[in-house]
Amino acid sequence: MSDTATSGGVEAFDAVDLIHTKRDKGELSTAQIDWLIDAYTRGYVADEQMSAMTMAIFLNGMTRREIRDMTMAMIASGERMSFEGLGKPTTDKHSTGGVGDKITLPLMPLVAVFDVAVPQLSGRGLGHTGGTLDKLESIPGWRANLTNQEMFDQLRDVGGVICAAGSGLAPADGKLYALRDITGTVEAIPLIASSIMSKKIAEGTGALVLDVKFGSGAFLKDIERSRELARTMVDLGRDAGVATSALLTNMNVPLGLAIGNANEVRESVEVLAGGGPADIVELTVALAREMLALAGKTDVDVEAALTDGRAMDKWREVIRAQGGDPDAALPVAKETHTVVADRDGVLVEQQALPFGIGAWRLGAGRARKQDPVQHAAGIDLHAKPGDTVRAGQPLFTLSANEPARFERALEAVQGAWRIGDPGEPVLDGGPLIADRIS
């Protein structure tokens, strides 16, 4: 319990007064925010009251100081990890999520090649955005849950880890996130920023790179809103003493060619083998350079580590360290359905969000946190915007264990792609990396 919680059994503040302040566009003090987060974590402030507060924040915003105070209060609700005893720098990456975003899988081993520890705490998918842990659990034997000591030992011995965040890290955030999800306040930038950064700062990494996405398949569609979120999080990292930068990246088109779980692992392995789709390679290399630069490693050849096998060797080492078999066969769906081009031309449009929803309906995602995923379900794209296609040529293949799922998945992607004439503008939203914020 914090010092601001009670005095002689009497609470320091009243939740209704704080709600009034924020409702009327006022500013909460540091002491008020500390009390609010602590009291909500303790159960003194009710969900109904915190729901009113999150809506007031959604509508009226918070100052940079308020956001910083909320982030630090959420960190203080639990434990803080430290990797000072590793004897090497630590650097991490967080993505705001998208369709086909499997970048963490090739990125973590690539960065770990250069004697930098990568403590990659990851999550599960919900809705149309996939989860890194769900993808990796396609690998037989691989386990997501490690103790803090196991995580430290693996970082020391192997150099990288991808695992679930323990319940002891920023428990206030877990409680608040669940509330935001059912009250229509998920998109509030102060709440997004404090949620992400409280866990990353509590994790103890020395450097952090943020992959903040915009576009059709992103959490925030508008690039200016994504830029505001990126700047807010970079400021929070700097204020907390964590070297932080952000890349604004395009999520109007699915990343890579695979959308799902097991098929995204396969594509990640292709990248680690020196191949894979150009956009996945481009973003993986850009984020690796950014992470390594923040960790003080600037004179390194990142591309060489992908092509000469070092990143693949590290991947295999990390998978084995967490009980997985990197040589085991990945799940394959029982049923497939392929959609072909109805005319000659150029693929000029391929919207990310509908394809993400389609993969979700096939079983690759979950509607509720407790739902299982079907690791073999998903969509494999056979063409990307700008590609020339011929009538009858496969455009994409749906995979599922139950053929009854195909109808609703096809409904989701109906109208999400278009074949145009040569010379017609390609609607891909521009370059993959739109901006860098530091």
Residue-level pLDDT at 8: 58
Residue-level pLDDT at 61: 96
Domain 335-420: give its CATH code.
3.90.1170.30
Residue-level pLDDT at 131: 87
Domain 84-328: give its CATH code.
3.40.1030.10
Per domain, the residue ranges of the chain are 6-61, 84-328, 335-420
Contacts of 187 (CB under 8 A, 6+ apart): 58, 219, 220
Contacts of 347 (CB under 8 A, 6+ apart): 383, 384, 385, 386, 387, 389, 395, 417, 418, 419, 420
How far apart are the C-alpha atoms of 297 and 186, rounded to whole Å? 36
The residues annotated with a catalytic role in the active site are 94, 173, 180, 195, 199
Contacts of 372 (CB under 8 A, 6+ apart): 366
Residue in the structure block whose two tokens are 């521009």 = 430
Mean pLDDT in consecutive groups of 10 residues from the start of the chain, 438 residues: 56 96 98 97 95 96 97 94 92 94 97 96 75 94 94 96 87 87 87 94 96 93 96 96 97 97 98 97 98 95 96 98 97 98 98 96 81 92 97 98 96 97 94 96
Residue-level pLDDT at 308: 95
CB 135 within 8 Å of CB 105: yes
Among 156, 3, 170, which Cα is nearest to 81's? 170
Go through the chain and tell me how many residues it has.
Answer: 438
Pick the CATH number of 6-61 from 3.30.1360.10, 1.20.970.10, 1.10.357.10, 3.40.1000.10: 1.20.970.10
Residue-level pLDDT at 377: 97
Other residues' Cβ atoms within 10 Å of the Cβ of residue 149: 8
